[in-house]
Amino acid sequence: MVVASLMAISILQCVWVWRLYRGAVADFVQRVEYAAYKSMYQAFFYGEVPGLRPVTRINIDLDAFSLYFEPTLLEYNVLQPYAVEVVRGGDNPRVMMGRGEVAQLERHIVLMLPVADSEYSLRVFVEAPYRIFLGRVWWLLFSSFAIVLLLALVLAYLVRTMFRVRELDEMRRDFTHNITHELKTPISVALTAADAMRNFSADADVERRSRYLEIVETQLERLSAMVERILKVSVHGSDDAFAPVTVALSPLIAEVVHEVSIATPGDFSLTVDCPEDLCVKVDAFHFKNIIATLLDNAFKYCDKRPVVSINVQCYATVVAVSVADNGCGIAREHCKHIFEKFYRVPTGDVQAVRGYGLGLYYVKQAVLRHGGSIDVSSRIGEGTKFTVKLPYDG
């Protein structure tokens, strides 16, 4: 409906402006015709009074015609360069006499006026001021163009908003699906272990009971970690929860690396390059979560032996903390969206790695709370590098 309305408005505007333009041209032609007839009667006909007395004598004199024609054109406000010819005949008339150069007229109109009942006709060439006609309607053209452009921009914004809303709906739907699956899994495992202890005499076997209780505890810890990760998004927005202090960066990163190394199974390589005496003002809780989230993504999104490195460089006013990996990489068109809430790189119906689309959103918000910034560079199949830049006062 919006597109149809735009097209209808554009067509109406164009038709309206065209009719105004053609009306201006027709009015000009009519004024010239009136002036030509009036001058012709004054110059050629003697003793003739229209409607009362017929023509008694015709004297065709183009000099006399011009003597009357130019003032009359001026009177009708249509004075333009012109040329006149007296022709004889019908379909292929022969020029008998002329005044003025037709070739010197750029864009002209032609009027053929019969001279009374004779076999002669007066052919008048008048240069038409089409630029003046356009100048009279230029503001209409401009306003029409502005209206159409405005409506086109509104349509583009509307379409963009519709697609964005649809994309957000899809991301929320994926988030709901993923979080439901992630939360149900530990709950189901814990319930199964509890049911086994109750219905299969696990209490009689101390070893089995201990094993089942360990399973329940593990799954509840996993469930608690999931809930805590989701709540981070709301925690970072509270001023009471943000308390930056000056801390040594190297021990803080080492603590995070130790925790992540314990929780990450399999073979991997994780190196850290950080000055020992470097101190920055950060909120320790949020900074540890920033590094932990980036490391967690580096390990999760890797289809080979993970090789991850943390590099810290100190500049005059900035401390740059980089986390680089050799994972699957992120396409360029997705890099600008990965920090948005609920956004996950689309992989079709197959989700090889579960998540909520909140991790990198939290990271960016936490970095911004520190007054810093975060950048990402990535290539498909080669890996990804996140660089967190924090303010540094020496």
Please choose, from the candidates 127, 23, 131, the residue with its C-alpha nearest in 3D space to the C-alpha of residue 73: 127
Residue 195 within a domain: yes
Q: What is the pLDDT of residue 351?
A: 46
What pTM does this model have?
0.47
- Please indicate, yes or no, whether residues 383 and 246 belong to a single structural domain of this protein: yes
Q: What is the pLDDT of residue 323?
A: 94
Q: What is the CATH number of the domain that holds 245?
A: 3.30.565.10
- Please indicate, yes or no, whether residues 210 and 87 belong to a single structural domain of this protein: no
- Please indicate, yes or no, whether residues 211 and 279 belong to a single structural domain of this protein: no
Which residues, at least 6 apart from 106, have a Cβ–Cβ distance to it below 8 Å? 127
Q: What is the pLDDT of residue 391?
A: 92
Residue 139 within a domain: no
Residue 142 within a domain: no
Residue 146 within a domain: no
- Please indicate, yes or no, whether residues 272 and 370 belong to a single structural domain of this protein: yes
Task: Quote the distance between the C-alpha of residue 266 and its chain's center.
Answer: 45
Paired sense of beta strands 94-99 and 245-248, if any: unpaired
- Please indicate, yes or no, whether residues 204 and 326 belong to a single structural domain of this protein: no
- Please indicate, yes or no, whether residues 115 and 182 belong to a single structural domain of this protein: no
Residue 73 within a domain: yes
Paired sense of beta strands 269-273 and 307-314, if any: parallel
- Please indicate, yes or no, whether residues 85 and 198 belong to a single structural domain of this protein: no
- Helices 130-199, 206-235: inter-axial angle, 10-degree rounding: 160
Q: What is the pLDDT of residue 239?
A: 52
- Please indicate, yes or no, whether residues 347 and 244 belong to a single structural domain of this protein: yes
Residue 30 within a domain: yes
Residue 80 within a domain: yes
Q: What is the CATH number of the domain that holds 203?
A: 1.10.287.130
Number of domains present in the structure of the chain: 3
- Phi, psi values for residue 123, rounded to 5°: -100, 120
Please choose, from the candidates 322, 232, 324, 325, the residue with its C-alpha nearest in 3D space to the C-alpha of residue 283: 232
- Please indicate, yes or no, whether residues 192 and 228 belong to a single structural domain of this protein: yes
Q: What is the pLDDT of residue 349?
A: 43
Report the number of secondary-structure helices (H) and strands (E) in the chain.
8, 13
Q: What is the pLDDT of residue 362?
A: 79
pLDDT values of the chain reduced to their tens digit, one per residue, 394 residues = 777 777 787 788 778 878 888 888 888 889 999 998 888 888 877 555 555 555 556 778 888 888 888 899 898 888 888 999 988 877 778 888 888 888 888 888 888 888 877 788 889 999 888 777 776 677 777 777 777 788 788 888 888 898 888 877 776 776 666 566 566 667 777 787 777 777 766 566 777 778 778 878 877 876 776 676 666 555 545 555 577 889 999 999 998 888 788 767 778 889 999 998 899 999 888 888 889 889 888 888 888 888 999 999 998 899 999 999 998 888 888 888 888 876 777 654 444 455 555 778 878 888 888 899 999 999 888 899 999 999 988 7
Residue 108: domain span = 2-128
Q: What is the pLDDT of residue 231?
A: 63
